[in-house]
């Protein structure tokens, strides 16, 4: 059973993501955080029951996805968990920053539900 986390301050996007994920992987466990700082603190505290994949928005108000990724990838028991940047941005420089900070991938959020499902199917295979 896959454990998938989405960290995104947009609850509507999170709901679409969750619906698409559960269609692609009906037995998946979905966790959602709308606050990146809260998420990194939670994962830092626990060393068991960690997610298989994390999808991360970068444009969040208080604690950005960049801050989350930079901190997350320095924590020994977390650094090998794939983090996929999932954002509305499509700028090349942001893709470079994501790679430099250790992201496993970079996805520009699609607006079409079918594309969300296709992307989730592709990026959560293992």
Query: Is residue 44 assigned to a domain?
Result: yes
Query: Is residue 52 assigned to a domain?
Result: yes
Cβ neighbours of residue 126 under 8 Å, at least 6 residues apart? 2, 52
Query: Is residue 71 assigned to a domain?
Result: no
CA gap 90, 95 in Å, rounded: 8
Number of domains in the chain: 1
pLDDT averaged over every residue in the chain: 91
Q: Are residues 68 and 36 in contact, defined by beta-carbon separation less than 8 angstroms?
A: yes
Report the side by side order of strands in the sheet with 53-56: 29-33, 3-7, 53-56, 83-87, 105-108
pTM of the model: 0.92
Query: Is residue 3 assigned to a domain?
Result: yes
Domain that holds residue 52: 1-58+87-101
From 34-43, 53-62, 84-93, 110-119, the region with the lowest mean pLDDT:
110-119
Q: What CATH number corresponds to the domain at position 22?
A: 3.40.50
CA gap 25, 120 in Å, rounded: 9
Tens digits of residue pLDDT in 14-28: 999 999 999 999 999
């Amino acid at each position: 059973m896959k454990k998938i986390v989405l960290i995104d301050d947009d609850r509507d996007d999170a709901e679409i993501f969750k619906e698409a994920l559960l269609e692609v992987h009906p037995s998946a466990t979905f966790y959602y955080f709308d606050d990146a700082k809260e998420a990194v603190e939670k994962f830092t505290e626990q060393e068991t029951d960690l997610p298989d994949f994390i999808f991360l928005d970068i444009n969040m108000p208080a604690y950005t996805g960049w801050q989350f990724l930079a901190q997350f990838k320095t924590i020994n028991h977390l650094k090998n968990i794939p983090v996929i940047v999932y954002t509305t941005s499509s700028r090349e420089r942001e893709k470079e920053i994501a790679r430099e900070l250790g992201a496993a991938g970079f996805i520009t959020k699609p607006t079409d539900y079918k594309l969300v499902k296709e992307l989730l199917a592709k990026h959560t295979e293992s």
